[in-house]
Amino acid sequence: MSAALQANEVNVKAHDAFFIDGKWQKPAGTGVLNVISPVTEEVVMTFPEASPKDVDKAVAAAREAFDNGPWPQLAAEERGNYLLKVAENLKARLPELAQAWTTQVGAPISFTRYVSGQPSELFEYYGTLIKTYPLVDERRRDNGDLVRVVREPVGVVAAITPWNAPLVLLCYKAAAALAAGCTVVAKPSPETPIDAYILAECIEAAGLPPGVFNVIPAGRETGDYLIRHPGIDKISFTGSTAAGRHIAGVAAERLTRASFELGGKSAAIVLDDADVDHVLQSLVPYSMPITGQVCFSLTRVLVPESRKNDVLDAYVGAVKQVKVGDPQDPATQMGPLTMERQLKRVQGYIERGKQEGAQLVLGGGRPKGFDRGYFIEPTVFANVDQKMTIAQEEIFGPVVSFISYQDIDDAVRKANDTIYGLHGAVYTKDPERGYQIARRMRSGSVTVNGMIVDPKMPFGGFKQSGIGREGGIEGLELYFEIKTIYFA
């Protein structure tokens, strides 16, 4: 079945409008966003592109809902109940959510069906958490006088999300912000707006007050207008480090609160005692998830000099078995890249790797039989020096670099020798030894003997991989201001 036909399985009721102030409103401008199938390269759906006038309208609605509406003043129990309703509505649309992800991004349907429960899980988690979260902390001064330290919602949040995991990444922000009592203006990626529309429909059906959640898909210029808008109190951004630097600079001009989940160049350190078969179980799928278009992909594999050949051979042998094909086929393990520009980007890095002297041992070109669509072979380089471009820059494609090390200190040094610090892994038969090495890695999260990202736990990065954490209790705390009230 073609991607265009599959897209018809997604029921978006108002893809010619924006969700603003609790209503589906016609756009102020005439710009159009095309959702292009990465398999057929054809347009499968169209949406309006938000203009600055639409941003003004959405921010005004969110501002009114925060400043004068009931949402921030509701008891935490009530807000939690609303979020639980949203969670139930998302659960009811799981097949559509999986299909939307596959149609827009090219992620295999077997993967999206497995992971598309996370958005509802996030709303359920934060809806439950806020009911018991300590919003008021009573303390005593040295003289015995009462002090109350209270957590209050930060205000109107601009939630800006990328195209690779559209709804999951939006729900990290929206669920936590709404639980805290904030109102939200969501700007999904112009390439993948379908999911945000489905979320808006679920929020509308749950009966949240008008203006609490608004959706305006748009490109970079309108996004820049949004982050500069004086009605925005906080920016929450997930995307590239380059874009994050720009947004951070804009936020600094008026000290707008901001948090960032950015790029990664994550390292998997394979220790000398690791069982290779066990390593491959998680390293193969998570070094190239969604065709490598995931920030936490384990794209650098660090192996001891004494074992570099056997680990490389085993990994290459396993990757050769990965089925590349139509993401709508349940047997497919790797689909295409999402966009033409992404294909050209990855091809450029592969050529750079060869030019700088890395050894191409697998892939590097288009898979046979795929002359159409943004397909690329799983690609593996060996004998990679840590200073090479492919070992330093985020490729965002299925390109993995094998780097050898002499001893543990050398492994840790190479793992940390990057501007990024998002995720990592350590493989060893001794979990405590793995823990000690994980403590030395400058990364926001590390998995010992596997690959785990749990939405109920904090996720984010050191260095240029971001500021702040999403998920878990820490993800909720991003959306509070702290107020101290003294009793004299």
Distance CA 197, CA 167 (A): 10
444 lies in the same domain as 471: no
Q: Does 459 map to a domain?
A: no
257 lies in the same domain as 296: no
Q: Does 15 map to a domain?
A: yes
Q: Is pLDDT above 90 for 7?
A: no
Give 126-178 pLDDT, tens digit per residue: 999 999 999 999 999 999 999 999 999 999 999 999 999 999 999 999 999 99
| Mean pLDDT for the stretch of residues 34-61 | 97
Q: Does 169 map to a domain?
A: yes
Residue where the block lists tokens 């707008």: 256
61 lies in the same domain as 129: yes
194 lies in the same domain as 61: yes
Question: Hey, CA dihedral for 89, 93, 94, 96, is it positive or negative?
Answer: negative
Radius of gyration of the chain (CA): 23
| Mean pLDDT for the stretch of residues 208-227 | 97
Q: Does 255 map to a domain?
A: yes
Q: Does 461 map to a domain?
A: no
**DSSP character string of 405-419:** ESSHHHHHHHHH-SS
Nearest to 380 by CA among 356, 405, 403, 414: 403
Structural domain harbouring 66: 3-262+466-486
pLDDT at 9: 80
Q: How far is CA 335 from CA 100, 200, 323, 351, 390, in A?
A: 14, 28, 9, 21, 22
HEC sequence for 133-200: CCCEEEEECCCCCEEEEEEEECCEEEEECCCCCHHHHHHHHHHHHHHHCCEEEEECCCCCCHHHHHHH
240 lies in the same domain as 157: yes
Structure tokens of 266?
Answer: 């994550």
Give 107-127 pLDDT, tens digit per residue: 999 999 999 999 999 999 999
141 lies in the same domain as 211: yes
Nearest to 163 by CA among 106, 227, 213, 115: 106
Give 290-318 pLDDT, tens digit per residue: 999 999 999 999 999 999 999 999 999 99
Q: Is pLDDT above 70 for 6?
A: no
Q: How confident is the model at residue 201 (pLDDT cuts 50, 70, 90)?
A: very high
Tell me which DSSP letter residue 50 carries. Answer: P
14 lies in the same domain as 57: yes
Q: Is pLDDT above 50 for 1?
A: no
Question: Hey, CA dihedral for 462, 465, 468, 474, is it positive or negative?
Answer: negative
Count: domains in the chain: 2
Q: Does 418 map to a domain?
A: yes
Distance CA 185, CA 20 (A): 9
| Mean pLDDT for the stretch of residues 40-68 | 97
Q: Does 460 map to a domain?
A: no
Q: Does 93 map to a domain?
A: yes
329 lies in the same domain as 348: yes
Residue 269 contacts residue 200 (beta carbons within 8 Å): no
Distance CA 26, CA 14 (A): 9
93 lies in the same domain as 33: yes
Q: Percent of the chain at pLDDT above 90? A: 97
191 lies in the same domain as 217: yes
**DSSP character string of 81-94:** HHHHHHHHHHHTTH
Q: What is the CATH number of the domain that holds 14?
A: 3.40.605.10
Lowest-confidence pick of 8-17, 180-189, 263-272: 8-17
Structure tokens of 321?
Answer: 């078995």
CA 386 from centre of chain: 26
Give the end-to-end CA distance of the chain in Å, rounded to a whole number.
71
**Burial bucket for residue 291 (CB in 10 Å: 0-12, 13-18, 19+):** buried
Catalytic residues: 261, 295
pLDDT at 8: 53
Arithmetic mean of pLDDT over the chain:
96
Q: How confident is the model at residue 11 (pLDDT cuts 50, 70, 90)?
A: confident
328 lies in the same domain as 357: yes
Tell me which DSSP letter residue 470 carries. Answer: B
Q: Is pLDDT above 50 for 448?
A: yes
Identity of the amino acid at 390: I
| Mean pLDDT for the stretch of residues 389-395 | 98
Distance CA 353, CA 392 (A): 11
Give 226-239 pLDDT, tens digit per residue: 999 999 999 999 99
Q: How far is CA 257 from CA 22, 227, 478, in A?
A: 25, 11, 9
183 lies in the same domain as 280: no
